[in-house]
Amino acid sequence: MQCSGTLSYLFNNFVRDRSFNEVVAEAKNAGFTEPDPRDDLSGTDVARKVIILARESGLKLDLADLPLEGCASAEEFMEKLPQYDGDLAKERLEAENSGEVLRYVGVVDAVNQKGTVELRRYKKEHPFAQMAGSDNIIAFTTTRYKDHPLIVRGPGAGAQVTAGGIFSDMLRLASYLGAPS
């Protein structure tokens, strides 16, 4: 699953000769990142969603079961980010030369009872490679949907999505508190 609007935006715009650091700054200025960008870029946001889906699937996973890297502070993280531009540019070029794109994804492996969060390469024909903007996508591969996974796709970041979620939560809370419907 590619379930971070921020990471989707970053890897959809990390093209040609743009540096990863430049794309991150653009996303931060557009309001697509969490207030603390480490939550997005460390994979923590994706890992939380992997845990939710894993638990809904009956697996007993915790955030500690998914290895993630971290930095001491948001400032340190942003300062160190340009150090990764060269490695990420090389990885992007290798993927492009093979007809692939980079995507940061979360995987719930129900068979092996584990979850992962990682940067992967996908052929341009793959649904994950055809994302635009800050869209999210989840592919359900099951016994029934083995050859053609069930795909759920939609917006994952931005003011409208956030406002819609908050409004939905407020209506649910009002109903719970006994407001007339």
Q: Which active-site residues does the annotation give?
A: 49
Q: Pick from 60, 56, 57: which is nearest to 142 by CA?
A: 57
Query: How far apart, in Å, do the first and last CA atoms of the chain sit?
Result: 36
Using the Cα atoms of residue 16, residue 21, residue 26 and residue 32 in order, give the sign of their dihedral.
Answer: positive
Q: Where are the alpha helices (DSSP H) in the chain?
A: 5-13, 20-29, 38-41, 44-56, 74-80, 85-97, 159-176
Spell out where 13-155 has E strands: 100-109, 114-123, 135-140, 150-155
